[in-house]
Structures are given as C-alpha cells and as structure tokens.
Structure 1
Amino acid sequence: MATIIKTGKPVATQPIKSGQALGAILAALGLDRTIPLIHGAQGCSAFAKIFFIQHFHEPIPLQSTAMDPITTVMGSDDNIVQALDTLCQKNQPKLIVLLSSGVAEAQGCDLRRALKLFRADYPRHDKVEIVTVNTPDFYGSLENGYSALLEALVEQLIPQQPVRNVRKKRVNLLLSHMLSPGDVELIRSYVEAFGLQPVLLPDLSRSLDGHLVRSDYLSVSQGGTDLALLKQMGQSALTLVVGPSLQRVGQLLESRTGVPCHYFPHLMNLQQVDCFIDLLRRQADRLVPEWIERQRGQLLDAMIDTHTWVNGRRFGLAAEADLLGAWLGFAQMVGLAPSCVVAPVNQPMLASLPVEQVLVGDLEDLADNLQAQGADLLLTNAHGAVIAERLGLPLLRIGFPVFDEFGAFRRVRQGYAGMRDTLFELGNLGQAACHHRPAYHSPYKQPVEQIRGRALAAEVIG
C-alpha cells in the first residue's frame, strides 16, 4: 500500500494535469463520425485543439458553444440549442458529444435540460444521437473525463437487456486512455487472431492512427467505433476492461446487459498479457497462434539482452494514475527501481501502487525529489524535457501530450511487442547515458587516398 502525500504548494508551477474536458474529447475522437461540442468560450475549444493537433499531427474536429460574458451571466441554453442545430445541419454527424467546461460548470448549466429543449424545438434532428457529460476542469483530470464519457455512452446509448441474444464470437473491449492507437491496434490483432470479433470502445486505432483518407476533409471524426456496434455491446459474450479507471464502466455495462466483465490493470508485464491471451484462447477454444508465441519469445530474449542496462536503474515517473500502474508493473518485471512517483490528482487506485509513497503534485515536485534522491531515467510527457535537460537525465516520453517527437502518439508499449521494443529503447538510453559509442571502423577498411592511388597506378599501367 502506497502512502499518498499531497504537495503543500498553493499553485502548480509546472503542471502534469490535463483537464477533464481533454479526456472526454480524446474518447469522443475514437467514435465514428462524431463531433465533440464543448459548452464554453471559444478559447476552451481552441486551447484543447492545440494540444491534440500537436500530439497527433492531425486535424481535430471540435466545436464550442461560444459563451461570452453576457451569456455566462444571463444563461446560455440558447447557445447550446443553436450550436446543436448548426452542427446537425452542416456536418451531419452520427453522434454529438456535448460536454461542459469549467466556465459552464461554475455558471451551473444543465446540459440535459438544454438537450430536451433542443429535441422539442428541432424534431427533424432526432436521428442524430447526442450524449451529454459533465467535465469540470476544477475537479479530476484527463483520466476522469475519459472514463466519464464512456459511462455516459453506456448509460445513454446501450439499452438495458434483461434477456439478451448472445453472440459467442463477439468480444467487447473497454480501453483506457493510456493505450495509444498503436497499442489498440495490437490488442485488436490479438483478439482477431483467435477468430473473435472485437468491439472496441473507443477505437483510436481507426481514427487517430495517422493515416491519409481518400475522401475530402470532413468536420467529423473519420473512423473509430461504429455507433451501431456500440449499441449492440449488450449482445457480446464477454467484456475485457483494460485500465483501472474503467472498472466502473465495466460494472455499469454488466449491470445493464449481463455481459460478464474481466478486468486487467494493464498489459505491460508478462503475467497480465499471458492472462489476457489465455482468456481469448479459452473463449475461442483455439490454440494460441504461432506469431503470438513468437512475440512472447522475442520479449523473453529482449529481457536477457538488455538486463545489464535496465535491471537496477532508478527512475522518476510522473503521469496519470492508469499509466503509473502500468509502468510500475513493467518496472517490477524487468527490475527497474522507482525513485519518485508523482500523480497530477489523487485517484482511488494510487494507494494500491507497489511503491512506498506517491506524491500528488507537479513536475517541479518531481524535479526537487529527483535532485535530492537521484535517478538514472525520467518518464513523463514532453513537458518533462526541460527538467531532463536541467538534471542531465535521459527522458522517455510517455502519456499526453508528446509534441516534440514524430510517431510518439502511436508508439506501442503494451503487449509482448510493446514491452519488447520498450526494453530496447531503455537499453539504448542506458548505454548512451553511460558512454557514447564511437563510430565503428572496420579493421579491413583501407584509406580513401590509398584506394585512389592504386586506381591511378592501374590507369597508367593500362
């Protein structure tokens, strides 16, 4: 059991935290033909859009209700109704996710009441699904907003099914924010390798994986979880939940539909991935495919190859709670030693982390602790680059946002393949920190001048 220590600073100077609205937007972008609509000022959407564009290097569909000082004081339900009508007419989405901002929450807005007004005034838009979710910035973090939207989707779109028609080959996957599009793609391939049909919620591997589409630019998300399949999740044989923050979502889905849930805190150590693969094997009643067994063997070989540069290394870690649990599980497997662990906000699962203490604070708190205790490696998002440079530590970028590396948004960390590649990356960082490898020169290499001299001599003789 970890002891939770809260920083005594009155303000965060180098925050790790991202607001709830960002988490809800991230989850919404994993749904097909969806527009997130944030109820707030234009700056609320602009600020969020910058984060996502820098991280994914993709156009991001996001709109706001454009609250101004007058509507903030006098009421802004009309802004919501007008914005919903405009989006339904011009963009023709399948789903609109209506979420609140800190300004709207402080005002005391009632999103569901505004939605009822819209449904009454514009019945012609009844075919467009609209989901409401409250995401105040002054409480929780990205993780809370992400899970809150998934709860809202289950409550508002998936019907209760006392008696259900079970499709034995269909499997639900509730996937945490800690999974990159690359992780989601790998997990999908595991499920499909056993002949099962996965329904992923959300599915970032089809919407934000960095692909060019043939059609023109659309102002809605392109790819992701199909709305029809989402509504049929109550017909699946079982649900696999990856990430502690989504445990309540799994329980809610099970209580509404009767689909049994199986929980995995992460897929970043051998035990959890082995259990995940074995569950798929038993569900499909098939042997484990050869390529999955081969990936497991590659991971074991990587552990042997890199243990000199990984085992015993001390690291500082700052991230959302789900990511903390995943990386600490990975650290236990390969022998990494946590020096300091920092979370942006206090989450229920922090107390169960396998460390002595977790500090609830910011990157400045992380830097102060690392300076006093020492470390060999830093794990956090791109904002940690300044700290890593000041302390002279190698930085492995994890979480959100990562805006200073190409391809970081889809880097695979989970599963056998993800752990294998992460070990190689850690080993290379360890080698580079200890000594710089000089360029290799073959002992059989001849000087260029000598080669040219021989060529000239051959021309004269000829």
Structure 2
Amino acid sequence: MAIVVESEKACTVNPLKMSQPLGATYAAMGLDACMPVMHGSQGCTSFALVLLVRHFREAIPLQTTAMNEVTTILGGYENVETALLNIRKRTAPKIIVLCTTGLTETNGEDMDGHLAMVRKRKRELDDTELIVVSTPDYVGAFEDGYRHAVTAIVKTLVKPLPTVRRQINVLPGSHLSPGDIDELREIVCAFGLEPIVVPDVSGSLDGHLDAVWRGTTLGGTTLDQIRAAGASAFTVGVGEQTRDAAQTLEAIAGVPFEIFQRLTGLESNDRLLQCLAQLSGRAVPIRYRRQRSQLLDAMLDSHFYTGGIKVALGAEPDLLLAIGALLREMGAELSVCVSTTASASHALLPASEVMLGDLEDMERGASNCDLLITHSHGRQMAARLGKPHMRVGFPVFDRVGNAHRCQIGYRGTMNLIFEIANLMVEKIPHHHPGDWALPQSSVDFSVAVPRGE
C-alpha cells in the first residue's frame, strides 16, 4: 500500500496533469452525434482542442460559450443560450455535453438553473439532450473530469427497464485507448454477450475515414444505447474512476456491477474471463486459453530484462496502477511514482510512496532510474537525464498510432511487456560472438586420427 504525499512546491513547474474539462470532453467524444461545449473563455477550449488533435490526429468537434470580461462578471446565461441555439441550428447534435471551467465555477453560476431556463424559453431544443458537468479546472485532473462526465451521462439519460439477460454494460476508464476498447468488446462478445460501452471512443476516435461528414462526433455510443443501459443484467467497470457511474446505474436501474481496477496483467484478466464465463454460462474460449499461455511465455522471456530495474512512473491514478502493478509483477522496482489526483487506486499500488505532483518532482527522483514512463511532456526530462522514455497516457503527440495501441487483455499485456523489455534490451550492452570464445591455450579439441582411417 503506497503512502500518498503532496508536493510542497508553491507552483507547478512542468505539468503532469491535464484539466477536468478536458477529461469531460474526452468522455463526450465517445457519444455518437454529440457536441461537447466548454462554458468558459475561448482560450480554455483552444488549449483542449490542440491537445486532442495532436494526440489522435483527427478532427475534433468542440465548441465554447466564449465568455469575456463583462459576461464573467455579470453572468453567462446569454452566452449559454446563444451557444446552444447556434450549435443546434448548425450541426443538429442529439446530445450536448456542457462542461464548466474554472472561470464560471469561480463566478458561481447556477448551471442547472441556466439549462432549466433555456429549456423553458427555447422549445426548439426539445429534441436535444442537454447534459451539464461540473468540472472546475483549478482542482482535480483529467481522470476526475472523465469520471464526473460519465456519471452525469448515466444520471441524465438512463432509466430503469426490463432486464435483457445477455446484455451487459461496459464502463471503460479514460486510460483505455480506442484499441483497448475494441479488444475488450471482442472479449465480451466471444462469450455470446452483448456489450453497451459507455462512452465508446473506439467508434469515434479510431482513426477511420468516412465519406459522411457532420459537425458532431461521428461514431460512439448512440443515444438509444445509453438509454438501453438500464436494461442490462450486469455492469463491468474498468478502473476505479468508473465506480461512481456504476453505482449510479445500480441506484437508478438496479444493475449489479463489478469494478476491475486494471486489465493489464495475468490475474486481473483471469478474473474478467471468469466473470464473463459465469454471466454467460459458457466456458472460456480456446483462443484466450492460448493467449494466456503466450502471455506466460512472454513474461518468462522478458523478465530477464525487467527484473531488478528501477522505474520512474508518472500518470493518472488508474493508469499508474495498471502499468506499475504489471512492472512489479515483472520484477521491477517502482522507485518514483508521481500522479495527478487523489484516488482509491493509490492504495493498491505496490510502491512505498505516490506523490501528487508534476514532472519536475518526477525528474528530481529519477536520476538513478533505468526507465522513465510518462506522456510526451516528459521527453525533455528524458533527454536531460539520458534515460529511455516510454510514452503512455495523454497526451502523446510525438508518436503515431495512439488510437490503435492495445495494452489490455492477455494480448495487450504481452505487447506492453515486449515494449518495455525491448527498451531495456537497447540499453543493456550486447554480447558479441567473440565474447564467448575461450582462450586458445585453455583446451585442445584436436584429435589425432591414425593415418589410413
């Protein structure tokens, strides 16, 4: 169990964490025909937009209420109303997710009152679902904003329905990529179960080309699917950040749930497959039995390069646990662990301490480490220290293929282990053929063969 300490610095020097509104926006990206809106200044929205575009290399639909000095003081109701009407007229989204920012939260605006007033005054918005998420960016982090958004989506749209026995809900954490969600869906479907993924960025941010263009998100969980989540027989949450939404689903529709703190590693995936086997009444498919044996062999092959290494790790809580726990199982030492926000996941991390800080805190403790693991903003730190840098989390803007990276399940865990081991192989001095040659005078292998034989 790790002890959580907070950095005592007066300011953040090299930020590790991303903001709550950005995390909520990412959750909204997983809803089909949705338009996320940040209620704040244009700069807040522009910053989030740049990070999402650079990470996914895709067009990102994101709007703003464009607050200025006057509306910040006098109140932003008119900006909210104007933004909602303009968005409805231009792109006709089925869902609008309105995320607050530090600007409007500090002003103390009544967002629920704003939406109620808009609903009453503007009947043309009756066919659009409006969801408000409180995400002040002066507290919390990316994972908190995502958690609040998914909970708000469930609370606003899900209603109790008669149970569909073979239908289950899947709540992925913000640390799961579109490729991870595709893998998880494939695993669930292999047991004959029908998953409803909320939210599903694998349909909207998976890097596909489509002849159809619209100003909203293209792909993801549909409005009908979200409403049908109340009929599911069970909910699977991935990451501690999904617990609030799962509990809300249970309170509204009576859907039982289980939270899997991580799906990276052997034991955690064993538990998932056992759970799905019990829900479906089917045996674990042969291909996953084979993938499990392949993972075991990969762990055996790779532990020579990961055993005993010292790692510095900086990530959001659930990602920190997923990668940190796997590294510990592979014999690595978690020397430096830095995270962004408080979470129950920290208590499960096999390290002595987790610091809530920034990348400067990570750099100060990483001089004796063999490997640095964090997002792309850690690249300068890695260059200064001369250490190998593995990029994980958000944002990763100096590598391509982030949408298709898979690090969960038996297969994804194996890929992750190979990636880490290969980084260490590059660092370890290689043996040359001559290193194994014995001195010529040590042994004489010549054999006297009698003449004529």
Query: Do they superpose with TM above 0.5?
Result: yes
Q: How far is 1:436 from its partner?
A: 6.1
State how far apart, in whole Å, the 1-side matches of 2:249 and 2:256 are. Answer: 9
Instruction: Say whether residues 1:7 and 2:7 are aligned partners.
Output: yes
Q: How far is 1:437 from its partner?
A: 8.4
Equivalence for 2:27:
27
State how far apart, in whole Å, the 2-side matches of 1:229 and 1:437 are. Answer: 56
State how far apart, in whole Å, the 1-side matches of 2:162 and 2:341 are. Answer: 41
- Paired AA for residue 13 in structure 1: V
> What is the TM-score when the length of structure 2 is the normalising length?
0.93
Q: Runs of 4 or more off by more than 4 Å in structure 1?
A: none
> In structure 2, do the counterparts of structure 1 residues 437 and 397 end up closer, same or farther at CA, with 3 Å as the change threshold?
farther
Secondary structure of 1:172's counterpart equals strand
Equivalence for 2:55:
55
Equivalence for 1:449:
none
State how far apart, in whole Å, the 2-side matches of 1:342 and 1:83 are. Answer: 38
Deviation per CA, 1:38-85: give whole Å up to 9, x if none.
111111111110000000000000000011111111111000001101
Equivalence for 2:442:
none
Secondary structure of 2:259's counterpart equals strand
Instruction: Say whether residues 1:73 and 2:67 are aligned partners.
Output: no
Secondary structure of 1:316's counterpart equals strand
1:306-455 equivalence runs, <5 A: 306-371=302-367, 374-435=368-429
Match of 2:278 among 270, 277, 282: 282
- Paired AA for residue 186 in structure 2: S
Gaps of 5+ in 1: 439-462
Secondary structure of 2:70's counterpart equals helix
Q: How far is 1:231 from its partner?
A: 0.8
- Paired AA for residue 323 in structure 1: L
State how far apart, in whole Å, the 2-side matches of 1:251 and 1:12 are. Answer: 34
Instruction: Say whether residues 1:113 and 2:113 are aligned partners.
Output: yes
Equivalence for 1:457:
none
Match of 1:252 among 234, 248, 251: 248
Q: How far is 1:335 from its partner?
A: 1.5
Deviation per CA, 1:230-257: give whole Å up to 9, x if none.
1111111100011011112111111111
Equivalence for 1:291:
287
Per mean C-alpha deviation after superposition, the further-off stretch among 297-306 and 146-155 is: 297-306
RMSD: 1.4
State how far apart, in whole Å, the 2-side matches of 1:189 and 1:351 are. Answer: 31
> In structure 2, do the counterparts of structure 1 residues 294 and 214 end up closer, same or farther at CA, with 3 Å as the change threshold?
farther
State how far apart, in whole Å, the 2-side matches of 1:214 and 1:282 are. Answer: 41
Equivalence for 1:39:
39
What percent identity do the matched residue pairs reach?
Answer: 39
Equivalence for 2:180:
183
State how far apart, in whole Å, the 2-side matches of 1:74 and 1:267 are. Answer: 48
Alpha-carbon contact 1:402-1:409 (below 8 Å) kept: no
Secondary structure of 1:138's counterpart equals coil
- Paired AA for residue 148 in structure 2: A
Aligned residues: 433
Secondary structure of 1:262's counterpart equals strand
Deviation per CA, 1:325-350: give whole Å up to 9, x if none.
11122123222210110012333432
- Paired AA for residue 239 in structure 1: T
State how far apart, in whole Å, the 2-side matches of 1:350 and 1:195 are. Answer: 34
State how far apart, in whole Å, the 1-side matches of 2:72 and 2:350 are. Answer: 45
Alpha-carbon contact 2:240-2:344 (below 8 Å) kept: no
State how far apart, in whole Å, the 2-side matches of 1:435 and 1:404 are. Answer: 27
Q: How far is 1:408 from its partner?
A: 2.6
- Paired AA for residue 396 in structure 2: V
Q: How far is 1:97 from its partner?
A: 0.2
Alpha-carbon contact 1:15-1:344 (below 8 Å) kept: no
Equivalence for 1:210:
207
Q: How far is 1:226 from its partner?
A: 1.1
Alpha-carbon contact 2:94-2:223 (below 8 Å) kept: yes
Q: How far is 1:269 from its partner?
A: 1.3
Q: How far is 1:290 from its partner?
A: 2.0
Instruction: Say whether residues 1:273 and 2:269 are aligned partners.
Output: yes
State how far apart, in whole Å, the 2-side matches of 1:60 and 1:355 are. Answer: 37
Alpha-carbon contact 1:37-1:97 (below 8 Å) kept: yes
Secondary structure of 1:238's counterpart equals strand
